[in-house]
Structure 1
Amino acid sequence: MNRYTIIFFVFFTIAFACNGQYLDSLEKELKTATNEEKVDILNKLFVVHHQLNPKPALEYASQALDLASSIDYKKGKAAALNNLGVIYKNQGVYNRALEYYKTSLKLSEEINDKRAIASTTNNLGAIYSLKGDHEMALTYFTTSIELFTELDDQKQIIGALNNLGNAYNDDGKKIKALQYFNESIELAEQLGITSRTPEPLNNIGNIYFYNKDFEKALEYYERSYEAETKSDNILGQAQALSNIAATYYETQQLPKAKTYYQQAEQLADSISAYMVLVVTYDGLSKIYAQQEKYKEAYEARLNYDQTQEIIYTQEKGKNSSQLEIATELQQKEKELEVLKKQNRIKQLQIEKSRIVIILSIMGVIMILGAIFILIKAKKVKFKF
């Protein structure tokens, strides 16, 4: 999920303008679909909604799980469980996400759905990475890459390699991290998928930046900016420019740092990317202060404080929304528990009915047997 949730509305509008037709098509198909088809469509509807509007996404995933469970459609059930895991992950409830992913993985393994196994394994790696369990994260990411390689899914391998690089970086193994980031970049370039290169390029830049190798950091940040420009990603461009500015600031090339911060500010302001704006205002205030331009430094600091206030207000709204979704998730958990109990009661009733039927049949057989013996005995007596 995009970390910059403060520009949620911008992406929501753009994405739904692009996906509106697809969404309408899915909703139309849903009305006439058979049971298994309905499950698949509900899971597709989740994919369309989950990053932009989690409430309907939760509903679609829950409906898919209920229907798939009732008709014993394991593939659809595994997908729905995986989707619920995504929702929990996005809400920061990692242990619950882990449970859903593991249950989903078990089902996918039962039906030998390799693509689903690879995706869910990758998701499990992400959860362990977020929980700080680097060893488990590395295990799952490595397995995921192996599975995607078997499937020859090059596009997914790009992301999995980047994830593996992040896991090694978090574990303090920078050289291994660089190896996988570079592999991710090389594969993306071979396939001509430039939209997949900015993240690993930026990650490599960060490694060099924190190791104070600013020349190499600058090289990769500039490459990241070029890739973001080719992909027309304004947010990515703003982030890359801000990183370039920070690198020039660290090397005390203040005029260049100021120019890049100003460019980043202009782009970030055009899409209300407040998290990037905070970084640029902070950088500009420090530069102006060093240049003894105290009025400009004060104005930049005011902008910084105002933007921080906007972020705080929006974070409060986000937390309220998350609380609402979390409440709905808890309610759904209760409903699922009730359904499980009802199913167990039904199973017990069925078992009880079976026992009663069996005992009744056995009773009838015993009675018939007794009658047969009595008749036989009478016949024997009559002969005497």
Structure 2
Amino acid sequence: MFQHLQVNAQDHVIDSLKLALQNAKHDTTRCNILNAIIESENDDAVWPKYNDQLKGIAETNLKKTPQTHPVYKIFNKHLAVALHRIGHTYKSQGDIPKALENFNNSLKICEEIGDKKEIATLLNNLGVIYFYQGDIQKALEQYARSLKIREEIGDKSGIAFSLNNLAFIYQKQDDIPNALKYFSMSLKMREEIGDKKGIATVLNNIGAIYYDQGDPLNTSFKQDALSAGFTKALEYFDRSLKIKEEIGDKLGTANLLNNIGVIYSEHGDPSVTSSKEDALSAGFTKALEYYGKSLKIREEIGDKEAIAATLNNIGVIYIKQKKYSKALDFCTRSMKASREIGFPQYIRDASERLNQIYKATGNYKLALENYELYIKMRDSINNESTRKASIKNQLKYEYDKQAAADSVAHAKDSEIKNAELAKQTAEIKAKKNQQYALFSGLGLVLIFAGVMFNRFKVTQKQKGIIESQKSEVESQKKIVEEKQKEVLDSIHYARRIQMAQIPSEKVVERILAKLKS
């Protein structure tokens, strides 16, 4: 009910702005109203049209206005804003050359009019692009320039963003101590300005590092460092979760509940020290608890993609516990949801789990069907053109829903790859002799898949928190953690141009999952 009232109120605001736009007598007023409409409009197919109007009005007035006239600077500012938004849109679409062209054109204007705050934002966004292109040196240069300007003007919120991005540079280079250092500096800055949402995000990012890399201060044995890392990851995720719950962020709450569930599912309960078996058993129990809470919220907010992933996560635990009836229920529901949204990655994961279930319960016909579907989806995802199309469709779904979140993860049963599938092939062949040729071919495919999978895991490790379907920057294409006051003419436009710091909970989930590839 409350959400419905919010939507109606938002629609009323937009209608009022549109009416004001029709009645506006001066182009400066029209530009201000257009900016307000763009910030209020959530429809990705609608707001760019108003941004084009803004750009057109600004360009027209710049042509007929002397550069010495005060209004010239105002229209130049509006043009810079419009170009910045256009560049951000091209970045979200994967058109890097056009994104860079518009960002640089906007930057040139901002340097001419001396808008330091906007310059810093543009430099940051250019750094994000270079970061994702793998040009770490250029990214570092842009971030450093952005940070210097933000320090000069005392923009604490911007400083926190820059420190966060610098932390990812160090993480990219596997310099974990410095990554944690800059994350901690960003966290301190956000605490100073009382930015609870930003605090929760940085805590989440720090937790992801500990999960992925272990505790760098624990130098005894690698396994001890990893174990200590899981414990610290739980601590940071729990702190982030409490803040998300406090500020009413249902999406973030669901993501973190899922993150915590993954740790318990994969590594057991670190507080149980009696035996490894007891720790794993206790971990499964807690994981089911956290997954259940996450699933409930995701169903409340209608996040179908995340629902499909969480159902699969729960199914994985029941498979490990050999509770195949329950596993079948959840994995079948996951398959249904995955087919509805049409994501090959999730269909692949669900079919892999269903294959395991049917194989374990002796239903070799359905085991074979799901095995073949798994191979089909896996090969489809590995195809570059299909992969890009899948990502584009996924982004459209996420943006339409304004908050979709990927699954944090199914448990990473990497041991169920070549050896078990090869064994399964032999079992099915014994019962299905007539399919000998088929399974021989599949065996070769599996060998190739194993090689490719290992290579890809190395790449994932190198790319860390920034890789996985490239959807992190794209999925944040219209979100801004901190809205910034406009320097000139009361223009408020941050939501359409400010790229939030590199990962959100969605990317952290992908780091945890390890099975999105």
TM-score relative to the length of structure 2: 0.55
Are 1:240 and 2:313 an aligned pair? no
Change (3 A) 1:38 1:223: same
Structure 2 counterparts to residues 254-269 of structure 1, below 5 A: 254-269=324-339
Query: Which among 16, 38, 41 is matched to residue 79 of structure 2?
Result: 38
> What's the CA shift for 1:95?
4.1
> What's the CA shift for 1:38?
2.7
Provide the aligned C-alpha RMSD in A: 2.5
Change (3 A) 1:265 1:93: farther
Task: Write the deviation string for residues 194-249 of structure 1: whole angstroms up to 9, x where unpaired.
Answer: 11112222221121122132111111122222222222211111111111111111
Tell me what 2:210 maps to: 168
User: In structure 2, the residue corresponding to 1:67 is in which secondary structure?
Assistant: helix
Tell me what 1:155 maps to: 197
Tell me what 2:322 maps to: 252
Query: Which among 77, 99, 108 is matched to residue 57 of structure 1?
Result: 99
Tell me what 2:118 maps to: 76
Query: Which among 152, 165, 173 is matched to residue 123 of structure 1?
Result: 165
Q: Within 2, Cα distance between the matches of 1:59 and 1:117?
A: 25
> What's the CA shift for 1:284?
1.0
Judge conservation of contact 1:158–1:184 (CA < 8 Å) in 2: yes
Task: Write the deviation string for residues 321-379 of structure 1: whole angstroms up to 9, x where unpaired.
Answer: 9xxxxxxxxxxxxxxxxxxxxxxxxxxxxxxxxxxxxxxxxxxxxxxxxxxxxxxxxxx
Change (3 A) 1:128 1:110: same
Q: Within 2, Cα distance between the matches of 1:286 and 1:110?
A: 59
Is the helix fraction higher in 1 or 2? 1
Tell me what 1:370 maps to: none
Structure 2 counterparts to residues 211-250 of structure 1, below 5 A: 211=267, 212=280, 213-250=283-320
Q: Within 2, Cα distance between the matches of 1:155 and 1:79?
A: 19
Judge conservation of contact 2:312–2:350 (CA < 8 Å) in 1: yes
User: In structure 1, the residue corresponding to 2:46 is in which secondary structure?
Assistant: helix
Query: Which among 185, 190, 205 is matched to residue 241 of structure 2?
Result: 185
Q: Within 2, Cα distance between the matches of 1:178 and 1:24?
A: 44
Q: Within 2, Cα distance between the matches of 1:127 and 1:81?
A: 15
Counterpart amino acid of residue 183 in structure 1: R
Tell me what 1:140 maps to: 182
Q: Within 1, Cα distance between the matches of 2:173 and 2:290?
A: 28
> What's the CA shift for 1:277?
1.5
Structure 2 counterparts to residues 1-384 of structure 1, below 5 A: 18-33=43-58, 34-55=75-96, 56-172=98-214, 173-211=229-267, 212=280, 213-314=283-384, 318=388
Q: Within 2, Cα distance between the matches of 1:96 and 1:230?
A: 43
Counterpart amino acid of residue 50 in structure 1: K
> What's the CA shift for 1:157?
2.1
> What's the CA shift for 1:65?
2.2
Change (3 A) 1:219 1:58: farther
Q: Within 1, Cα distance between the matches of 2:88 and 2:156?
A: 19
Tell me what 1:326 maps to: none
> What's the CA shift for 1:255?
1.3
TM-score relative to the length of structure 1: 0.73
Q: Within 1, Cα distance between the matches of 2:153 and 2:78?
A: 18
Judge conservation of contact 1:36–1:76 (CA < 8 Å) in 2: no
Counterpart amino acid of residue 176 in structure 2: H
Task: Write the deviation string for residues 89-133 of structure 1: whole angstroms up to 9, x where unpaired.
Answer: 333444433332222212222222222111122222233334332
Runs of 5+ consecutive residues of structure 1 not aligned to the other structure = 1-15, 322-384
Q: Within 2, Cα distance between the matches of 1:247 and 1:70?
A: 59
Task: Write the deviation string for residues 37-67 of structure 1: whole angstroms up to 9, x where unpaired.
Answer: 3333333444455334444433332222232
> What's the CA shift for 1:176?
2.2
Q: Which has the larger radius of gyration?
A: 1
Q: Within 2, Cα distance between the matches of 1:199 and 1:292?
A: 35
Counterpart amino acid of residue 122 in structure 2: A
Change (3 A) 1:269 1:122: same
Q: Within 2, Cα distance between the matches of 1:266 and 1:126?
A: 37
Q: Within 1, Cα distance between the matches of 2:326 and 2:121?
A: 49
Change (3 A) 1:307 1:75: same
Counterpart amino acid of residue 256 in structure 2: P
**Quick check: 70-79 or 292-301, which moved more?**
70-79
Runs of 4+ in 1 over 6 A off after TM superposition: none
